[in-house]
Structure 1
Amino acid sequence: MPGHESALDRKPEWQPRYPGSGRMKGKVAIITGADSGIGRATAVLFAREGAKVAIAYLEEDDDAAKTKELCEQEGSEAITFRCDLGRKEDAGKLVEKTLDAFGQIDSLIQIAGEQHPDYDITDITPEQLQRTFQSNIYSMFYVAQAARPHLKRGATIVNCTSITMYQGAPILLDYSATKGAITAFTRSLSGQLIDDGIRVNAVAPGPIWTPLNPCGGMPEEEMDDWGTDTPMGRAGEPNEVAPAFLFLACEDSSYMAGQVLHPNGGTVVGS
């Protein structure tokens, strides 16, 4: 976990779908989980739109190096930082390295996370429960805390929650619980920072083809028809989610704060 994108037989679609228009020109974004999946697609899209990108990842060095290369091919600059953001000190080091490289932070895009399927609540160990919360929600607190002194008026934070926060997921109890926490964190932090001109929003993807699910995030027997229960009848691709993060990070969404976007294949959920 969370798995290497390079090892997947069918590669996720990360490629931006349209030319850039400079919407992140002069900006610096930290993107967690940017080595693969939604994070990679978002990093490359931000680079195309002019942002310099700090790519935070857990241990997939090959994937992170590829994302960096792809960002540079877009004519931007990128750095990689191998870290465990469930540890407060690593979050601080990520912010320090970004400032050393680029001198500013304009957007926090918090996508990194993990999930572990269990058919029975009694199968969830204390260690797994702690780890899932550390990776998925503690990390967002730690990175936001470290970055807060450096965020100026006009900065944005976009967190990755999930459709499981709204629908539940019987075999993903701990994961779904963290996603509920992320939505509450997003709305509460928005209220705290809005007077300082910092907007906080979130994206709640549905089933998206990334390394997370086929590399242990879902039982193998669930993967044959995974995503086909959406109204669109398929799982989504990372490059169908990345534009939601871009929209909430740039001035296109200047009148939005404390909100959640739902790229989920047409499933109607409460906002």
Structure 2
Amino acid sequence: MQDCAQQPLLEVSNLSASFGGTQVLRSISFNMRSGESVALVGESGSGKSTLLKTIAGLAPKALRVDAGGIRYAGQDVLGLRGKTLRAYRCEGAKYVFQNGQESFDPLFSVGRQFDESLRAHGMRADAGTKLELLERMGVTDGERVLSSLPSELSGGLCQRVALAIALAGAPQLLLADEPTSALDSDNRKKVANLLRKVNEVDGVALLLVTHDIELAAELAPRIMVMHDGEIVESGSREEVLERPRDPYTRTLVDSVPKMERSYRRVAL
């Protein structure tokens, strides 16, 4: 019997899935340990977001899993339903959307939606708790933010609030789907630094989906490259970005002008 201490946090085994007659995931296999940071890179349409949503239990109903499975802490994710699925989404793996505003109902204040999320996690929805969570994400004017509608906040601020809500229930795994692609350079840096802090300081495992190879190199010691529904290459960032074996990976790396090849971690 496998030692529980050595059991991966996330196991994806030979996962294949399709929309109608079109296969979109092809024999995907990888593991992640608690506290690890892994980036999944590739062009739009490669299947990255479909894979992430399937792991999160958010895949469209039209998606059919043809083979394989997903296990989180030994639990069969694909078999979760009702309360167990909601518990997994709250306390296990939390999904962060590409655009922070997609995380919110546009008709209700951020504070009201924050309250609902906290109560779903069994936490007190008092002002102190909300302001503390926002402050951890670099939001210094929390009272104004909580009273605002999502449309009244910038994209970068919405993304930081979405991260605060995602981390409210102390999840073990953060599933970040292109979390900086809709942001300007300044907000991209802020969100990237927050993701690094969540991973390195708080110990939350991070599975980052991105087409931004430089962001992947910045945040993840391990990188997987996805193309046409398959993982075509996987290894340390140095192996994948400096010594790519697959022709598709070489094309991706060569497409980044003057890519910085130093992966030194920046002090937090």
Q: TM-score range, shorter-chain basis?
A: 0.3 to 0.5
TM-score computed with the length of structure 2 as normaliser: 0.37
Give 1 or 2 for the bigger CA radius of gyration. Answer: 2
Q: TM-score, normalising length from structure 1?
A: 0.37
